Amino acid sequence: MPVSIAVIGAGPSGFYTAAALIKSVRDCQVDMVEALPTPFGLVRGGVAPDHQSTKAVSKAFAKTAAHERVAYFGCVRLGQDVSLAELRGIYDAVVLALGAPLDRELAIPGGGKLGVHGAAAFVGWYNGHPDFADLNPDLNVERVCVIGNGNVALDVARVLVKTAAEMASSDLPDHAAGAIHGAPIQEVAIIGRRGPLQAKFANKELSELGGLADCVPLADAKDLPDGVTGPMSERTRRLAEKNLKTFRGFAARNPAERRKRLRFRFYAMPLEVLGGDRVEGLRLERTCLREGRAIGTGETMDLACGLVVPAIGYRMAPVEGVPIDAETGVVRNRNGRVEPGLYVAGWAKRGPLGVIGTNKSDGDDVAAQIAQDAGQGGKPGRSALEALLRGRGIRWVAFRDWQRIDAAEIAAAPPAAPRRKFVRINDMLEILD
């Protein structure tokens, strides 16, 4: 009897796990259960539409999906179409590879006003994720404040200021392109509660901002230290030094060089979102660093803006029957094992940090645990899931179905673009009918 394994979530951690399982668990059958018809998770819905080369990893994932021991069950939502308890009853092992799809809350007064859109939702919207197709952010604004100094903040800021020509070779969906390129945005402020040396920006992404066609990146020379000092790892020091050099270049730029500005504001802690029902500004408090932490100095300033995008990290969605550690916000686990029969990988295991490839070792860990625990198998797996879904009248999308959706998107691509994404699940399913 093969060992039957369900991997829930077909993003990077799901695919790396599936690949590791077929390598290291002899005679296993791996079924990937995914809420959307489309696979690849954040590679499709998170990685910025103008960073197509990062999306190339989906070719390797597609090879895994095409493996004879792997099946894809797209458009099957955990907790709605099938419960975790049911999957655990059917499969010898269940791996949660659910990522961290929710925004960490911006817990300041006014954080719930109209015009505050967390990065998970905002990025999902401009990436054509069906769950956010109706977000409809009002971009009829002159200034946007993006909160956070991580790579997601850079993605959001860059996508908002690039021109239509610069985005021509991207897969930015039409609804987002129309809204962004028709918007009167003059300035995007990137707000960091700490300093330039503490920013988590990858230098490649930061440097890219120096070459934008219609936008000049700016930093305040007063915020830039003379050098990188203090205890830190060699890797952190090298990044801080590179970023400092890049910020020095930004500080020397002339705001009048381009039509738009992308302004880094460091040592600025968000205190309150201002306005009535709708955002009208952001109150910031100047900070200083004490033992690496941002401490308010009492000096405040108000920055007028019409849109606030907190890009301050993600969190996982609770799943019935899964223990989440209150402190870390991730599934309680030891090396990927929650308990025998239940495992976790990726951001649900270790928090929303790291790049796509970081998930590979999670997959290897989980596969090793399952190889140890699973024994001879015995649960029916795939045939039982198919029977359960059929019995409920739930239509699932197989990988070859996705390949037809994929081909239709590619065929509909505007010149220079890789694809024109479907953003509605019904439109995807219609292709299959």
Among 117, 143, 158, 193, binds ligand NAP (CB under 6 A): 193
Among 102, 168, 202, 322, binds ligand NAP (CB under 6 A): 202
> What would the x/- binding string for ligand NAP be over residues 304 to 343, using CB under 6 A?
-------xxxx-----------------------------
Site membership for ligand NAP, residue 151 (CB under 6 A): yes
CB of 57 to ligand NAP, least distance (A): 12
Site membership for ligand NAP, residue 170 (CB under 6 A): no
Residue closer to ligand NAP, measured from CB, 312 or 345 = 312
Angle between helices 174-181 and 119-126 (to 10 degrees): 110
Site membership for ligand NAP, residue 150 (CB under 6 A): yes
Site membership for ligand NAP, residue 346 (CB under 6 A): no
Please choose, out of 186-194, 207-215, 219-227, 415-423, the segment that lies near ligand NAP by the rule CB under 6 A: 186-194
Site membership for ligand NAP, residue 282 (CB under 6 A): no
Q: Name the residue number minimizing CB distance to ligand NAP.
A: 150
d(CA 74, CA 7): 12
Site membership for ligand NAP, residue 362 (CB under 6 A): no
Amino acid type, 309: V
CB of 308 to ligand NAP, least distance (A): 11
Residue closer to ligand NAP, measured from CB, 128 or 192 = 192
Beta bridge partners of 342: 94, 339
Please choose, out of 197-205, 215-223, 319-327, 393-401, the segment that lies near ligand NAP by the rule CB under 6 A: 197-205
Chain centroid to Cα 350, Å, comes to 15
Residue closer to ligand NAP, measured from CB, 30 or 123 = 123
CB of 356 to ligand NAP, least distance (A): 8
Residue closer to ligand NAP, measured from CB, 61 or 201 = 201
Q: Where are the beta strands (DSSP E) in 255-370?
A: 260-265, 268-275, 279-290, 293-304, 307-310, 314-315, 337-339, 342-344
DSSP state of 53: G
d(CA 307, CA 140): 9
Please choose, out of 56-64, 149-157, 378-386, 388-396, the segment that lies near ligand NAP by the rule CB under 6 A: 149-157
CB of 13 to ligand NAP, least distance (A): 13
Collapse the DSSP code of 432 into the 3-class scheme (helix H, G, I; strand E, B; otherwise coil) and give the result.
Answer: helix
Site membership for ligand NAP, residue 353 (CB under 6 A): yes
CA-based R_g, the chain, Å: 23
127 φ, ψ (degrees, to nearest 5): -100, 5
Please choose, out of 3-11, 194-202, 226-234, 321-329, the segment that lies near ligand NAP by the rule CB under 6 A: 194-202
Q: Under rule CB under 6 A, which residues in 129-148 are in contact with ligand NAP?
A: 147-148
CB of 335 to ligand NAP, least distance (A): 21
- Token pair of 347 as six digits: 């951001």
- Token pair of 391 as six digits: 């019995």
Number of residues that bind ligand NAP (CB under 6 A): 24
d(CA 331, CA 352): 12
Taking the alpha carbons at both ends of the chain, their separation in whole angstroms is: 35
d(CA 307, CA 101): 21
d(CA 29, CA 308): 45
d(CA 130, CA 117): 16
- The candidate with the shortest Cα–Cα distance to 275, out of 141, 176, 161, is 141
Site membership for ligand NAP, residue 285 (CB under 6 A): no
Among 95, 152, 385, 428, binds ligand NAP (CB under 6 A): 152
Among 74, 99, 346, 352, binds ligand NAP (CB under 6 A): 352
Q: Look at strands 293-304 and 307-310 and give their pairing.
A: unpaired
CB of 285 to ligand NAP, least distance (A): 11
d(CA 274, CA 340): 50
- For residues 49, 52, 55, 56, the Cα torsion angle rounded to the nearest 10 degrees is 160
- The upper half-sphere exposure of residue 276, i.e. CA atoms within 13 Å in the direction of its Cβ, equals 0
Residue closer to ligand NAP, measured from CB, 194 or 337 = 194
Beta bridge partners of 324: 331
**Residues near ligand NAP (CB under 6 A):** 147-153, 155, 192-194, 198, 200, 202, 205, 270, 311-314, 352-355
